[in-house]
Each structure stands twice: as C-alpha cells, then as structure tokens.
Amino acid sequence: MKMRDDDDYGRASLRMPTVILAASAAIFVVLAIVLLVNGSGKRNTVHTDIAARPVEEEETEVQQKDTLTADDLNFWDMYQREEDDTILDQTMNENANRKSELEEREADMRQAELDATDASAAEEDENADPAADGKHTLVKHIDGTTEWLTINSSLQLNNYENTSFQSKNGLVGYYSNGKQISKTGADISQYTTAIDWTRLRTEADFVMIRAGARGYDSGKIIADTKFIDNVKGAVGAGMPFGVYFSSQAISEAEAIEEATYVMTQLAYAQMSVENPGAVIPTQTDSQTSGTNNTVPGVNAGTGIDPSRFNTTTTTKDANGNTTVLEIDDKGNTTTTVTDSNGNVISKTTVNTDPYGNVTTVKTDEYGNQTVDTININNGNNTANSQNNTSGTQNTAAGTQNTAQTTGTTTVNSGRFRVTYPVAIEMHQIPNAASRIDSLNNSTRTQILEAFCGAVEKGGYNSLISANKEFLLTKINLAAVTDTEIWVNNEGNLPDYPYLMNMWKYNTGNTLLKSLTGEYGVDLSFIDYSVR
C-alpha cells in the first residue's frame, strides 16, 4: 500500500529534469542572438573607420605604436625607479662603510697577531741561552762583571772560520787549504828586556814597536826608552814593523799631538839608522842611566809635557866646552857647542814638521853648512853642502879667514819603510782611575779618529788597538768602520764578533824564545809588508 506522499515525491522527481533542460535551451538561444548582433556591429564600425581616416593619420598612429611603450606611459613606475635608485645608493654606501669597517677590523687583528708574535719572540729571546743563539757576545768588564751584548748585524761581522785556526807550539795561525795565510807578530817595548833579533826573525814575521805613552794620571807624554834601538834592531834584522802609542788623550788636540810625537820619533829613528854618526839631540834622564835618543824635551821616565818645550839646557864637558840645547814650542832644536873662550865649534838645527819630515842644518866652526832633508814617508832624501867663501871666525888665537872647502853630497844608506800600521792603543787602567774614564763614547771616538787622520796625512796606515770591552762599550764602533782594528782578545780563538785586521791573542811571555820580559804575540790577517 503506497502512501500519498510517496506518490507526490515521485511525480516531482520526474518534472525537475524537464525544467532544467528547458532553461538551458532558453539561455543558449539568448547568448547566440547576442553574439550574432555584436559581431555584425563590429564589422560595420571597422569598415567605416578605415574608409573615413586619411592615410597620414594612419601612419602617425603606427609610428606612435612603434616608439612608445607601456612603461613610457607608466608615470608611477618612473617615480618608483627613482626611489629604488636612492635606496640602492644608500645601500651601496652602507656596504662601503661596512667594508671599510671590516678592513680596519681585519688590519687591527693582523697587527694584534704581529704584536703577539713579536712579544712571543721577545719572550723566547729573553728565555733563550745567549751563549747558543748566535745573536749575543759576552763581554767582561774591567770591574770583573760580565754582560751579554746583542750583536749589531748592520756592522761587518767576523767571517773567520773557527776550524781554520790552528795552533802549533802555542803559536796560532789562520790556514787555508793547509797553508798558513796569516802573519805572526810580536809587540815589544822598553819592558821587553832582551831581544835576539836573529832568532826572532825565525819565530815571527813582523814586530809592532811601542813609541811611547801618555800618563793616565799626569797627562804627560813619556818616551819609550828603547824605541829607536828597537827600530834599529828591526831594520837590521830585515823585519817589517809598525808602531803603536798608548794614548790617554782627552781631546782631539792631544790626539794630534800624540800622532805628531810618534812621527817625529820615527824621523829621529830614520836619522839614526841612515847616519850612524849623526848627532841626534839627546836629553839626559835623571831617573835612568845614560841618555836616550828621543824627541828633545821629552824625558823617558819623567814624562816632560811637549807643550812646555820652550826650554834651554846648558851643559859643560871635561874640556870646558859648553853645549846649549834650545827647544822651541814645536819641539825643534838648536844645539850649539862653544869652546871655553866662547867660540862656536858647531851648531846643529833640527826642524821637524807635523808629518815626521826632518830638516837638519849643521854649521861647522868655519861657517860651512850642510843641509840634510829627510822625508820619511815618500823616501826622498837630499843632502846639500853650502860653503862660506869669506868671513871671519873668532878663535882662541885671534881672527882668521875661514878655509874654503869643496861642496859635498852625502849619500845616505839604510833607509827603511814603516810597512805595518801606526796604531793608537787606548784602554782603561785596572784598579785605577784614568783620564779617559770621564769621557763619553762620542768624545773617545773623535779622539781615535783624530789620531788616525793625522798619521794617515803623514803617509802611514792607521790602526785602532783596544780590547773587546773597550771596542764594544766605550766607543761608537759604527763610526770607525773605515779604520782597521787590532783586537786584544786573549785565547785560542778570537771572541770578537766583528771584522778585525790584527789579533793579540797572548801576553803570557812564554811563546817566543827570542824575547824575555813583557811582550805580546799577534796574528795579522793582512800581510802589510806587501800591501
């Protein structure tokens, strides 16, 4: 049995599809009509426009279409690009600032790393053993204390190989390919009490002879009593030699005075060697026996100051003859001998220039003169005689005409050359105050340079002699790099870090059998005799 409501629902369900289909058909018809109408109108409009517009307007429209773009008509986009450019510039500036900050920060970090590295290296250097790092050298001061000094790498360093030093019977030589290329020397003075020159010639190649010294307290120049004898000995043995002076100069003027003194002593030694019979002005030394041939006015042992030359000394002999020795302020001398009646027997004038060149004028009792000029440095030597042809000479018997004599030329022999250097030795005095102690390094350096400059002008090689401590701590070593160095550094190997030309390695007074007393034994890296 069907319910009523169910039957109504069934009929309603059948009607719904029919309605939908009818509505869809109606909508389709309407759309077709609309499309048909619009298509027909558009075709008519286009046709009318083409027919009505001129050709010029069509070409203008085409050109506008070719040159204009949508972006050209988009003013909002133009303003937007300007704003974007401003933002971009700001961004770029900000980036540049950040880059600069980063670079500065990076530089600070690198510097911090370098500082840390330097600090670490300094700490390592401080903790390192200076005896093994090759950067330090040990100095023993005069008071007994020691100190490690940093080696200055800007100076010319000692490049000698330790393995090339060989000792034979205590004498040290420097060898290359089994051959000794150094020269052995001895430095001698009045304190070398005996010298066997023949034997010394077989033990050594050269000698350095002490000319004198300046008192470390008094400041007076003191002659070495054996200087001329030692020069004669060296010349007689055929040994090359040099000279040294122990200085305590406290000014450049005193240094030049010392250099002049040494060159004058050499001039007198030259006169003595060349003219064994020549009258060399002498000064009796009241503190020692005999006389010594030294610069007039300079007493060996007493140390007369050359600045006080201006003296006159009168002596008489057993025959009643009187000798008057006059010394001027430059050390030039005039020796006049008269008899008991005051008649002149002889007169000798010796003038020495600052470079050791000597002019001697001898006048005999008849007034005849002999002029002898010695230039010790260039080897020139001239002797001329001048004769008086008339005049009178007072004698004990009265007045008589002078004898006329024939002029003569003296030919000298035995000329020597000083082939090794003329050295200035400077050092402090152990356990005593010395004149140079109060000087600063710059002044000491200038004094050394003044001495060396004076002897070089005189034609000699110059040399600075000192111990290691003095060279490294008491002068400005970098200022004298052009001057050769003679180092007093005793031992089997040189413990001096810089370049040296001569080395005194022993003062024990036992190595050379030809010498007794005090002397030093030296090694020269240069053969000055053939230089």
Give residue 84's pLDDT: 72
For 101-108, which contacts have Cβ atoms below 8 Å and span 24 or more sequence positions? none
Whether the per-residue pLDDT at 398 is higher than 80: the answer is no
Give residue 279's pLDDT: 57
- The answer to whether the Cα torsion of 81, 82, 83, 87 is positive or negative is positive
Pick the residue with more confidence: 258 or 382?
A: 258
Query: For residue 55, which of 67, 63, 45 has the smallest C-alpha distance?
Result: 63
Rounded CA gap, 441 and 445, in Å? Answer: 6
Residue 50, beta-bridge partner list? none
SS3 443: helix
CATH of 180-273+417-530, one of 3.20.20.80, 3.30.1240.10, 3.40.640.10, 3.40.50.10490: 3.20.20.80
Of the ranges 101-110, 396-405, 444-453, the best mean pLDDT one: 444-453
Rounded CA gap, 266 and 260, in Å? Answer: 10
Whether the per-residue pLDDT at 294 is higher than 80: the answer is no
Percent of all residues in the chain with a pLDDT value above 90, rounded to a whole number: 44
Rounded CA gap, 210 and 191, in Å? Answer: 10
Summarize pLDDT for 457-501 with one digit per residue, the tens. Answer: 999 999 999 999 999 999 999 999 899 999 999 999 999 999 999
Return the half-sphere exposure (C-beta side, CA atoms, 13 A cut-off) of residue 273: 25
Summarize pLDDT for 133-176 with one digit per residue, the tens. Answer: 889 999 999 988 999 999 999 999 999 999 999 999 999 999 99
Whether the per-residue pLDDT at 202 is higher than 70: the answer is yes
Give residue 221's pLDDT: 95
Summarize pLDDT for 311-338 with one digit per residue, the tens. Answer: 677 878 777 888 887 877 566 778 888 9
Summarize pLDDT for 53-104 with one digit per residue, the tens. Answer: 555 555 555 455 555 555 555 555 555 666 777 787 788 888 888 888 888 8
Give residue 387's pLDDT: 46
Strands (E), 443-508: 462-467, 485-488, 502-506
SS3 167: strand
CA 458 → CA 64, 211, 234, 451, 474, distances in Å? Answer: 106, 16, 21, 11, 27
Give residue 187's pLDDT: 97
Strands (E), 298-416: 311-316, 322-327, 333-338, 344-352, 358-363, 369-374, 381-386, 392-395, 398-401
Give residue 395's pLDDT: 38
Rounded CA gap, 27 and 217, in Å? Answer: 143
